[in-house]
């Protein structure tokens, strides 16, 4: 089977690339290893599909090749994305922190609209078709694929876009096989690591803390150097720690641990109160209720699960002694733990739980203006397969829409 342009991967970036190519009058087809399109989209935004964010800025994106993503995000920006979905009949709404969703708040709505557009434009989508190898001659690419029934297929095309995803959430088909294809045809890969993922901690009392949730902040240190901090809802789990601030820190934690650095997390359980105000609050509280046990004095201030653990960590063996018997050493230990509780980060929670991949096809080998390979003419990349990842909040899907459109435009027009 032969087409002018073949797109490998029916994720967000591949679908927008195909729709755009058809609009430009190009004979285009999509090859997809799953039995349906856009499987990973169903999981985004807790099933609501966080399509984009109204506050798209470059500092929300990361790559070993800094600012590689600048041209792409500028030339297919937020307004262009909104116009595209409006042209498909999909209406969006903005919720917390600028996150934008379909008005229905259902990821399935986005997939249904995209599927309908592919069908209306009569774009062939070969499902259950996994590309195993790619050969390039002077005039065309040959793609060797197999179906779910182990039938062998061969495709030919003049232009090729690889957008097979990364390694995050492999159950959705994002299993890293795209990196193998890119390597086979000559591209190098920046080590793929989990990002936007929970962190595992080296702490013996995690099971006792599991389920404790609070609004606070977290600071990530690598080899004792402060690298990043974020705030919001944080959750202790039986393996470590989670919540939006932790996900935002996880990229740097993942990369730092891979590089052999010691990763440390410092957690502030009362980030809305300064340490000075916390000391004043507790001193006044103990002054009034000095007769109460130390344990009971924290009821209504800290989560009940936290109280006995925090007091033991502060060196207080007898939690039932009255507050007026607290020493300055014990008080200072309490203040420090509430505002600056330190944990060793030993790992991430892995690709199975990651929202995105840090690393991928080396963007030094890709033209930042066209997204065409510098090594192989007429080969283009878009989406998560490249060494570009964004923060949590719709930024990675914006990269998918933007890079899909830019790669498609250049593949069709060159």
pLDDT (0 to 100) of residue 245: 99
pTM reported for the whole predicted model: 0.97
Asked if pLDDT for residue 405 goes beyond 90, the answer is: yes
Residue 154 banded pLDDT, cuts 50, 70, 90: very high
All structural domains of the chain with their residue ranges: 2-194+360-413, 198-349
Distance (Å, whole) CA 300 – CA 313: 20
What would the pLDDT profile of 45-80 be if each residue is shown by its tens digit? 999 999 999 999 999 999 999 999 999 999 999 999
Fold of 2-194+360-413: FAD/NAD(P)-binding domain (3.50.50)
Asked if pLDDT for residue 2 goes beyond 90, the answer is: yes
Contact 240, 344 (CB under 8 A): no
What would the pLDDT profile of 304-363 be if each residue is shown by its tens digit? 999 999 999 999 999 999 999 999 999 999 999 999 999 999 999 999 999 999 999 999
Tokens representing 14?
Answer: 């591949």
What would the pLDDT profile of 76-101 be if each residue is shown by its tens digit? 999 999 999 999 999 999 999 999 99
pLDDT (0 to 100) of residue 414: 78
Contact 158, 342 (CB under 8 A): no
Mean of the pLDDT values across residues 244-256? 99
């Amino acid at each position: 089977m032969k087409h002018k342009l073949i797109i490998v991967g029916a994720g967000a970036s591949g679908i927008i690339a195909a729709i755009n190519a058809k609009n430009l009058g190009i004979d285009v087809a999509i090859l997809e290893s799953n039995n349906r399109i856009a499987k990973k989209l169903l999981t985004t935004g807790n099933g609501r599909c966080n399509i984009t964010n109204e506050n798209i800025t470059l500092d929300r994106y990361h790559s070993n090749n800094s600012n590689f993503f600048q041209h792409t995000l500028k030339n297919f920006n937020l307004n262009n994305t909104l116009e595209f979905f409006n042209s498909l009949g999909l209406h969006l709404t903005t919720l917390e922190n600028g996150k934008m969703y379909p008005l229905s708040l259902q990821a399935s709505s986005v997939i249904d609209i995209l599927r309908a557009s592919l069908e209306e434009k009569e774009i062939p989508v070969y499902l259950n078709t996994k590309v195993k190898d790619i050969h390039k001659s002077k005039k065309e690419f040959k793609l060797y694929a197999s179906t779910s029934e182990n039938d062998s297929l061969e495709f030919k095309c003049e232009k090729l876009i690889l957008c097979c995803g990364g390694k995050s959430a492999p159950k959705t088909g994002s299993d890293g096989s795209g990196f193998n294809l890119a390597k086979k045809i000559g591209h190098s890969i920046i080590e793929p690591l989990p990002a936007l993922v929970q962190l595992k901690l080296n702490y013996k009392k995690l099971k006792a803390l599991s389920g404790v949730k609070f609004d606070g902040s977290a600071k990530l240190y690598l080899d004792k150097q402060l690298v990043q901090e974020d705030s919001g809802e944080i959750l202790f789990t039986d393996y470590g720690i989670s919540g939006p601030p932790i996900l935002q820190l996880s990229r740097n934690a993942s990369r730092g641990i891979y590089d052999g650095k010691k990763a440390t997390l410092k957690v502030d359980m009362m980030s809305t109160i300064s340490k000075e105000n916390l000391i004043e609050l507790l001193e006044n509280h103990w002054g009034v209720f000095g007769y109460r046990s130390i344990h009971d004095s924290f009821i209504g201030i800290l989560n009940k699960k936290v109280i006995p653990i925090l007091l033991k960590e502060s060196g207080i063996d007898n939690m039932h002694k009255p507050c007026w018997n607290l020493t300055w050493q014990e008080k200072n230990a309490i203040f420090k733990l509430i505002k600056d509780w330190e944990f060793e980060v030993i790992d991430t929670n892995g690709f199975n739980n990651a929202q995105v991949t840090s690393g991928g096809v080396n963007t030094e080998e890709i033209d930042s203006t066209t997204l065409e390979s510098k090594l192989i003419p007429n080969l283009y990349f878009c989406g998560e397969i490249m060494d570009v990842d964004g923060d949590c909040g719709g930024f990675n899907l914006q990269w998918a829409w933007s890079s899909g459109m830019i790669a498609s435009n250049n593949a069709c027009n060159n």
